[in-house]
Amino acid sequence: MKKQQQNIEKQVLASMKKSGKGKLFFPENFSSLASTAAIRKALQRLTENNEVVRIAQGIYTIPEIDTLIGPVNPGIEDIAMAIAKRDKATIVPTGVYALNRLGLSTQVPLNIVYLTNGAARKVKIGKQSIKFKKTTPKNLLAKGPISSLVIQALRAIGKDKVSKQELDKIYILLKKEKPQHLQHDMKLAPVWIADILKKALFIEQ
């Protein structure tokens, strides 16, 4: 039995190494190798032996190695996207994190929030956490990667609280968005945000 478990550990480790350092793995990625219990035990043993790193509950990696700072684990964004891909869910950054992603804030929140059509949950990543907040389908229909962030960032700032400096930066960012995406996304946004997207579209043209 012990030999069989060791063989499972070797197969799991070999599979992770083949995929490359910095990739994220869940126990279900190895479901073809053994039972869920055996895979979890193998990952636990590999973690104890420092062969792999447990990023969060049920999430593992073999870190990339930086010559100056040593092991580098995947970032919060990579982890969130991996969870969304596993769950076949759509996610959109919101709140302070949306502001940070756009460069409108230097603050990196400890608790990062994503809107999702998947399961609501909270994942602890060291001192940080990722919260997936269930939302209505309409909030996830935006097509533009920039305009969807802008909509959430403006929601976080609030109506009549957006500074001229923030608006100027938002217009510069939206100029990089595809016009057809802006036309689509302004229909999904609150009226005051839609007006900003519309003005950006006019600038774009």
**18-73 per-position pLDDT tens digit:** 998 999 999 999 999 999 999 999 999 999 999 999 999 999 999 998 888 888 99
Mean pLDDT (whole number) for 160-170: 94
Q: What are the CA-CA distances from residue 11 to residues 4, 151, 196, 202 (Å)?
A: 11, 45, 54, 57
What is d(CA 49, CA 1) in angstroms, rounded to the nearest whole number? 19
Mean pLDDT (whole number) for 196-200: 92
Long-range contacts of 100-107 (CB under 8 A, 24+ apart): 101/149, 101/153, 102/146, 102/149, 102/150, 102/153, 102/169, 102/170, 102/173, 103/169, 103/173, 104/153, 104/157, 104/166, 104/169, 104/170
Mean pLDDT (whole number) for 140-149: 96
Average pLDDT, the chain: 93
The topology (CATH level 3) of 2-71 is: Arc Repressor Mutant, subunit A (1.10.10)
Under the banding of pLDDT at 50, 70 and 90, the label for residue 156 is: very high
Mean pLDDT (whole number) for 95-107: 93
pLDDT of residue 67: 87
Under the banding of pLDDT at 50, 70 and 90, the label for residue 1 is: low
* Tokens 């579209």 belong to residue: 201
Mean pLDDT (whole number) for 168-185: 95
Long-range contacts of 70-77 (CB under 8 A, 24+ apart): 72/22, 74/22, 74/24, 76/112, 76/125, 76/128, 76/130
Under the banding of pLDDT at 50, 70 and 90, the label for residue 6 is: confident
Mean pLDDT (whole number) for 69-78: 90
Query: Could you state, in order of their start, the residue ranges of all structural domains in the chain?
Result: 2-71, 140-204
